[in-house]
Structure formats: structure tokens, C-alpha cells
């Protein structure tokens, strides 16, 4: 069975690469994770991408997404258990399809950056019940969109960039990171740095969509506005995806 994992950017149809469009048009059946009402109008964005770029007949099969422990005692084990449950759910659906069908997975952002789809499909293949051949098409990541929206060069000259999560931000800063892109931060962990008066922030939410919001400046001065804008997007759309750059220094970020 042939499977295409296709990065689709942040949700705007114009962010699909030419390569991605070509892969989407080879697909007979798209499998999408059904996360219920928690994703708001994200499903509409996905449907519009297919409507815009995939002429002809195709099927979309929604696969109920397994419950995930959001407050585990062992985070790594909980994530692996969730991946395994996802893989079993996908395996069940794939076993019911024609083996000659080409299957597609639409992956928000880029499949290689803080996304589980590659690991899940590897797990399905490891089960040994399906003969799977898959490929990966990169997408425009929120990191790239953030930099473009704020007209940023993410690295200082000759310097490194740390890409991390809200969960790990504190430990990364404690280890000396001072030029940090933060993803998957549903609780604005950067609040813990307020008061140090050394951080600038460039923040973006729903990047690349018509509802994109940007805020930048001193972290101490911007955090309440970011919190307010973030909450408003969540209220309006049922979802919010945000990414930000934190940089220590006299200026917010240049």
C-alpha cells in the first residue's frame, strides 16, 4: 500500500507547495484524525485545501483520535502509548481498504517538526499486518512563517537557534539558551520569564491564515496583549496555533 504524508502548512490553501499538490492528486483515500469539536473550524480549512487543489474523485475517512493523557506522571511513556493507540486505529482502517489504493495523510505544518505522523506510520508498518511504502513531502512550518511574518532572521550571526516546546522552555533557558523558538505552548510558559527584563518576543498565531495575528516587543510589556489575542482567537475559531521567538538582549529581536 502506498502512503503519502504531505505537509500542508498552517491551513491556508496558498501555502501548499507545487510538490505537495502533485502528491495530493495521487491520493485515492485521505485519512484524517477526528478530534471532535476541539479543533473548531480547522476541518473546514482542510476541506478547502482539498477542494482547491484536488480535482476529481477521492474519499476522506475520519478516524476517531484516541484519548490522550494530558497530565501524565511520565510524559514520554504517555506519548508513546498515544502513538501506539493512533497506529492501531489507522491500521484498522487501512486493513479495510483496497491494497492498491494510494492513501494520503494531511499533516499541518511540516511532518518533520514536532509532529507524530511519521512515527505513527512507522509503528503501523512495524505491526507487520500491512505492506506499506510511504514517502514524506515537506510543508511550510510555523517557524518559517513566523520569521517571514515578522521579517526576521532567526539566527544571530554565527549563532545557534534552539527550537523547543513550552514544556521544555524553562530547562532550556536555564541551560543557557537565549535565542529560542517555542512551539506547542498552550499555557504561555514564557510568563515565567516576565520580570527578568531581558527578553524580547516575536509572537504569531494562526500563521499564514486570514486570521493571522502578530505581536512583538518587550516580553514584560507584551505578555498580557498576547494572552488576550490568543484567548480571542480560541473563542472565535475553537483553536489557536501559536509560535514565538524569544531573544535575550536590549532589543526585542532583530
End-to-end Cα, the chain, rounded Å: 47
Q: What is the CA radius of gyration of the chain?
A: 19
Q: What is the pLDDT of residue 254?
A: 46
- Which of 1.10.8.590, 1.10.10.10, 3.90.1200.10, 3.30.950.10 would CATH assign to domain 142-248? 3.30.950.10
In this prediction, the residues of the chain whose per-residue pLDDT falls under 50 are 252-254
* Residue ranges matching CATH 3.40.1010.10 in the chain: 2-137
- Which of 2.60.40.420, 2.60.40.3950, 3.40.1010.10, 3.20.20.120 would CATH assign to domain 2-137? 3.40.1010.10
pLDDT tens sequence across 170-199 = 999 999 999 999 999 999 999 999 999 999
Q: What is the pLDDT of residue 11?
A: 83
Q: What is the pLDDT of residue 210?
A: 87
Q: What is the pLDDT of residue 74?
A: 82
* Residue ranges matching CATH 3.30.950.10 in the chain: 142-248
Closest CA to 124 of 96, 101, 94, 104: 94
136 within 8 A of 112, measured Cβ to Cβ: yes
User: What is the reported pTM?
Assistant: 0.90
Amino acid at each position: 500500500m502506498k502512503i503519502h504524508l504531505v505537509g500542508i502548512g498552517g491551513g491556508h490553501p496558498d501555502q501548499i507547495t507545487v510538490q505537495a499538490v502533485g502528491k495530493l492528486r495521487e491520493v485515492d483515500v485521505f485519512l484524517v484524525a477526528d478530534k471532535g469539536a476541539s479543533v473548531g473550524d480547522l476541518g473546514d480549512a482542510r476541506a478547502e485545501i482539498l477542494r482547491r487543489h484536488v480535482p476529481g474523485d477521492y474519499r476522506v475517512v475520519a478516524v476517531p483520535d484516541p484519548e490522550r493523557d494530558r497530565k501524565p506522571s511520565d510524559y514520554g511513556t504517555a506519548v508513546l502509548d498515544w502513538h501506539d493507540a493512533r497506529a492501531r486505529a489507522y491500521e484498522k482502517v487501512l486493513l479495510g481498504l483496497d491494497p492498491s489504493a494510494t492513501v494520503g495523510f494531511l499533516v499541518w505544518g511540516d511532518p518533520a517538526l514536532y509532529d507524530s505522523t511519521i512515527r505513527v506510520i512507522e509503528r503501523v508498518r512495524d505491526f507487520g499486518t500491512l505492506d506499506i511504502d510511504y514517502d514524506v513531502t515537506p510543508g511550510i512550518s510555523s517557524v518559517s512563517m513566523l520569521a517571514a511574518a515578522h521579517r526576521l532572521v532567526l539566527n544571530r550571526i554565527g549563532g545557534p537557534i534552539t527550537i523547543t516546546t513550552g514544556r521544555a522552555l524553562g530547562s532550556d533557558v536555564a541551560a543557557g539558551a537565549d535565542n529560542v523558538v517555542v512551539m506547542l505552548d498552550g499555557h504561555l510558559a514564557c510568563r515565567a520569564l516576565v520580570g527578568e527584563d531581558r527578553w524580547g518576543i516575536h509572537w504569531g498565531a494562526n500563521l499564514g491564515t486570514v486570521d493571522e495575528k502578530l505581536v512583538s516587543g518587550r516580553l514584560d510589556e507584551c505578555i498580557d496583549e498576547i494572552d488576550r489575542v490568543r484567548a480571542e482567537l480560541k473563542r472565535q475559531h475553537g483553536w489557536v496555533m501559536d509560535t514565538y521567538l524569544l531573544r535575550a538582549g536590549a532589543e526585542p529581536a532583530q
